[in-house]
Chains A and B, each alone.
Chain A
């Protein structure tokens, strides 16, 4: 059974869109934890408020960061800065991400601050791991794919398959 883990602080981060939808489906994993959500659209906060009211849970902390794709270097830098500030302020015990760039930054920086890290690569990546998913190999303590045939073990780490978000 699931034991209470109130003492843990979890930061869950994903870009708005499919990554966010996948991340949110994992939420029983951090039930009763102190919780911080980070996404790339401010409008995501509303659904968290509605859900917290409906389920009578405390409202999680929410931070929006700038949306940035891999080609937008300046935006990426801004996103990196924003995430660093959030991590410095909140100091989570565990960071969980489903992608994309923001999740990569959070895991990479979070590691320096002593957080333990989880990467769940999007179910959309059936043929190869996402670029961010490949890059987190050395900083993801729990490194997961949602495609069994992609699971592997190499010098960088063990990419495991433990089921899917849907």
Chain B
């Protein structure tokens, strides 16, 4: 199963539509999508099961079960994928398409593209190519498990401040 997630705040039709099309053409793959507030006018996928929102518990379960996570370039999605050591394909929301208020997700995607197991799609075409490549894998991508904590230096700085 692949888990698609776009966060709770905003819809991300460009990503959802691209995944839906890919699913239509690759019926051997199962996708579950958390596609955010689609409302009346938003794009509703035809080729995979989806919900607008899921609880944090279901979210965690889906991430654990998924062999691949597909997401917007949001920190929650990326950090969760790293914590459960699943490969993740991310696509940044762009302000030009009114997908977010600015292009900060581009910088986020760029930063995390250096991590093993994080694959960045520049657009829908890049996404399809990555899904072909990553979805077709028989073996799992090996990813080092990330500790559930921040860097020691940051923790210590805050700790010292709290105690002082």
Closest 7 CB pairs of A and B: A126-B107, A18-B76, A18-B75, A163-B154, A163-B151, A163-B153, A29-B158
Q: In chain A, what residue has the closest Cβ to B148? A: A25
Q: Are B79 and A165 interface neighbours, CB within 8 A?
A: yes
Interface string of B52-82 (1 = CB under 8 A from A): 0001110010000000000000111111101
The answer to whether A26 touches B158 (Cβ under 8 A) is yes
Question: Which residues of B approach A to under 8 Å, CB–CB?
Answer: 7-9, 55-57, 60, 74-80, 82, 104-105, 107-108, 111, 146, 148-159, 161-163
Q: Which residues of chain B have C-beta atoms less than 8 A from A94's C-beta?
A: 161-162
A21 touches B80 (CB 8 A): yes
B residues within 8 A CB of A20?
76
Residues A165 and B154 in contact, CB atoms below 8 Å apart: yes
Neighbour of B157 across the interface among A21, A127, A163, CB < 8 A: A163
Q: Give the residues in chain A near B107, CB-CB below 8 Å.
A: 126-127
Q: When the two chains form their complex, are residues A165 and B150 in contact, meaning their CB atoms are under 8 A apart?
A: yes
Residues of A within 8 A of B159 (CB): 2, 28-30
With A and B bound together, what is the CA distance between A160 and B160 in angstroms?
15
Q: Is A118 a contact partner of B158 (Cβ separation < 8 A)?
A: yes
The answer for the CA separation of A10 and B163 in the assembled complex, in Å, is 10
CB <8 Å contact, B75 and A122 = yes
Q: Shortest beta-carbon distance, B40 to chain A, in Å?
A: 20
Indicate which residue in A16, A96, A116, A144 contacts B8 across the interface (CB closer than 8 Å). Answer: A16
Which one of B108, B151, B154, B161 lies within 8 Å of A116 (CB-CB)? B161
